[in-house]
Amino acid sequence: MSKQYTPTIGIEIHVQLATKSKMFCACDNNSRNAEPNTNVCPVCMAFPGSLPVVNKGAVELAIKLGYGLNAQIAKITSFDRKNYFYPDSPKGYQITQMREPIVGKGYVEILVDNEFKKIGIHHAHLEEDAGKSTHPTGKDYSLVDFNRAGTPLVEIVSEPDMHSAVEAKRYLQEVYAIATTLGVSDGDMEHGNFKFDLNVSVSDNEELGTRTELKNLNSFRNAERALNYEIARQIEILEQGEKVVQETRGWNDAKGKTVPQRSKEEANDYRYFPEPDIPPLNLDEEFITNVQAEAKKEVLPITVRQELLSLGLNSDEQDILVGQAKTRTIFYDAKNTLNNSQLERKIVNWLVGDYQAWKSENSESESKLSGQHLAELIMLIEDGSISSKTAKEIFANVIAGQKPAEIIQAKGLTQMSDDTELEAIIVDIIAKNPQAVADYKSGNEKAAGFFVGQVMAATKGQANPGKANALVLKLLQEQ
Ligand SMILES: [Zn+2]
């Protein structure tokens, strides 16, 4: 490559909101197990004379998300019609926000190579989803299910602040963690709760290059792969002295490449205009403050990352605690129970090590691991009651919900720390090994190690090694 190219990436994320009902009607927002076209009403089917009413719960979740995106909330926010004809849109338009979005400028901090970087948020707006078309193979018809029509979404539009596929992936993961931590979305990616469009261009100078849009991705890994492919493809075109065509492209996972979908010439003119059936919303200060106060009760992913970074965790370890809500709760509960910064790294080691290993072979729903029990397990090792080997052996029982102290009691696993009991054993070993005692007395200090080994063997590993060592030395001196 003769020139240095810089990629520039901007992202639009569609987050499905975890409300009870749809965006503008009382239909259930969960159609997971519903028969097609049963979860509909005159409003979401756009029957003449029906009027949409804004879902207060959706507004609250948008405000919470705005808090997570460090963004201003608009006091006056309004809706617009985006006109287009498509079979899965019963209205012939989508209600969205074009002029006065609810969430204004903000930013998200991502961690790349152990350094924080701010990615600007241009705005985020409320809108409704369309229905779903399916095209049965070999048939000369298509099917439309309107259950999804009217589902509340927030679209988050970033600034073009990302300059590599890794940065884009980190941004997506961070926004996902924010949305799920705040309870804004269920975040079920397989069911399209979190989808995104990636805008990418490359340039070898100050001006931005011609961009392409990669539509409808729903996996972090594929986003990174698609961007790496697209960046390389565009550079190759420019290197050959040709021009990148502005177009929409899709990601073909099986082939591992992006493929053209439609070019700019065919792009729609949506003829936006203000939604006449919904008056602008005037959000009062107190309402916004109260919703934000609710959001503030949650520990945001960035706070977790900063703490984990100070504990020396790498990105993969951080992702586990940031991405797994239950694991993160266990971490904080254990941390608060122990209340000892020296032991925090130990909590993390259990959670990113043994606990992940257990999770890879079991379903997390079976886990009854609590932060309190994990803290207790760590304390039992710290005070010498059990060895770390024993702790690992009983960890599955702890995950099953048993109290560590009760497990070691029931299994008789307590490390032997009782001085009189240990002394008796050592005295016995000394009496049986006069030659080793003589060796030690003649200056061979290594002989003491022999006695400690004998003690561990006699107690089947249950003696506290430090204590055994001290007692052996004390008793040998007395010979
Ligand atoms: Zn409805």
Which DSSP string do the residues of 56-76 spell out, in sequence order? HHHHHHHHHHHHHTT--B-SE
Residue 221 DSSP one-character state: H
CA of 133 to the centre of ligand 1 (A): 18
- The answer, yes or no, to whether residue 266 has pLDDT greater than 70, is no
Q: What's the CA-to-centroid distance between 135 and ligand 1, angstroms?
A: 24
Same domain, yes or no, for 329 and 218? no
Higher local confidence (pLDDT), 301 or 155: 155
Q: Using one digit for the tens of pLDDT, what is the confidence trace for 346-394?
A: 999 999 999 999 999 998 889 999 999 999 999 999 988 888 888 999 9
- pLDDT score at 324: 83
Contacts of 139 (CB under 8 A, 6+ apart): none
Q: How far is the CA of 23 from the centre of ligand 1 (A)?
A: 9
Identify the pLDDT of residue 479.
77
Distance of CA 40 from the midpoint of ligand 1 (Å): 4
Residue at 96 is within a domain: yes
Does residue 359 share a domain with residue 232?
no
Quick one: pLDDT band at residue 101, thresholds 50, 70, 90? very high
Q: What pLDDT is attached to residue 38?
A: 96
CB 151 within 8 A of CB 191: no
Tell me how far CA of residue 448 lies from CA of 247, 293, 454, 460, 462, in angstroms.
78, 63, 10, 19, 19
What are the C-alpha distances in Å from 1 to residues 119, 142, 208, 237?
29, 47, 19, 12
What is the pLDDT averaged over residues 386-405?
92
**CA of 146 relative to ligand 1 center, distance in Å:** 9
Give the Cα separation of 307 and 379 in Å (integer): 22
State the distance from the centre of ligand 1 to the C-alpha of 19, rounded, in angstroms. Answer: 13
Q: Are residues 103 and 177 in the same domain?
A: yes
Domain boundary among 369, 393, 411: 411
Distance 285 CA to ligand 1 centre (A): 30
Q: Helix, strand or coil for residue 227?
A: helix
33 with 181, same domain: the answer is yes
Report pLDDT for 6. Answer: 96
| pLDDT tens, position by position, 173-185 | 999 999 999 999 9
Q: Distance from the CA of 29 to the center of ligand 1, in angstroms?
A: 9
State the CATH number of the domain containing residue 441: 1.10.10.410
The pLDDT of residue 267 is 57
Which of 411, 434, 455 terminates a domain? The answer is 411
Distance 39 CA to ligand 1 centre (A): 7
420: pLDDT strictly greater than 80: no
416 is written with which tokens? 């032997």
- With cut-offs at 50, 70 and 90, classify the pLDDT of residue 125: very high
pLDDT (0 to 100) of residue 416: 65
Total domains in the chain come to 3
Which residue range(s) make up the domain with 423? 419-477
| CA 148 to ligand 1 center in whole angstroms | 9
52 C-alpha to center of ligand 1: Å? 9
| Highest mean pLDDT pick, 7-16, 112-121, 307-316, 419-428 | 7-16
CA 147 to ligand 1 centroid distance, Å: 8
Average pLDDT of the segment spanning 415-444:
83
Distance 125 CA to ligand 1 centre (A): 21
Nearest to 7 by CA among 246, 176, 233, 243: 233
Residue 109 Cα to ligand 1 midpoint, Å, equals: 37
Give the chain's length: 479
Does any domain span residue 315?
no
Q: Which helix (H) or strand (E) segment is 11 a member of? A: strand 6-16
CB proximity list for 7: less than 8 A, separation 6 or greater? 163, 164, 165, 200, 201, 202, 227, 231
Q: How far apart are CA 351 and CA 358, in angstroms?
A: 10
Query: Who wins on pLDDT, 311 or 140?
Result: 140
State CA 246 to chain mean position distance.
Answer: 33
Distance 93 CA to ligand 1 centre (A): 16
Q: Which residue has the higher pLDDT, 48 or 418?
A: 48
218 and 351 together in one domain = no
Question: Is 303 within a domain?
Answer: no
**Residue 28 lies inside a defined structural domain of this protein:** yes
Closest CA to 451 of 470, 443, 442: 470
Q: What letters, b where the CB count within 10 A reaches 16 and e where it falls short, cover 172-201?
A: bbbbbbbbbbbbbbebeeeeebbbbbbbbb
Cα 104 to ligand 1 centre (Å): 28
The pTM of the full predicted model, rounded to 2 decimals, is 0.79
> What confidence score (pLDDT) does residue 465 get?
77
Q: How far is CA 23 from CA 65, 197, 297, 343, in A?
A: 16, 22, 25, 47
Ligand 1: centre distance to CA 220 (Å): 32
| Weakest-pLDDT range from 40-54, 314-328, 424-438 | 314-328
Question: From the CA of 449, how far away is ligand 1's center (Å)?
Answer: 78
Q: How far is the CA of 246 from the centre of ligand 1 (A)?
A: 37
Three-state SS annotation for 289-325:
HHHHHHHHCCCCHHHHHHHHHHCCCCHHHHHHHHHCH
What residues pair up with 162 in beta bridges, in sequence order? 9
Same domain, residue pair 138 and 92: yes
Distance (angstroms) between ligand 1 centre and the Cα of 57 equals: 15
State the pLDDT confidence band at 414, using cuts at 50, 70 and 90: confident
The rounded percent of the chain whose pLDDT value lies above 90 is 67
Residue 464 C-alpha to ligand 1 middle, in angstroms?
Answer: 67
Q: How far apart are CA 432 and CA 372, in angstroms?
A: 45
The DSSP line for 234-266 is: HHHHHHTT--PPPEEEEEETTTTEEEEEEEGGG
The answer to whether residue 83 is domain-embedded is yes
Give the C-alpha separation, 340 to 307, whole Å.
14
Residues 235 and 359 in one domain: no
Are residues 396 and 426 located together in one domain of the fold? no
Instruction: List residues bridging with 132 in a β-sheet.
Output: 145
Quote the ligand 1 centre to 154 CA distance (angstroms): 18
157 confidence band (pLDDT: 50, 70, 90): very high
pLDDT of residue 265: 52
Strands (E), 29-178: 76-77, 80-83, 93-96, 106-112, 115-128, 132-134, 143-145, 152-158
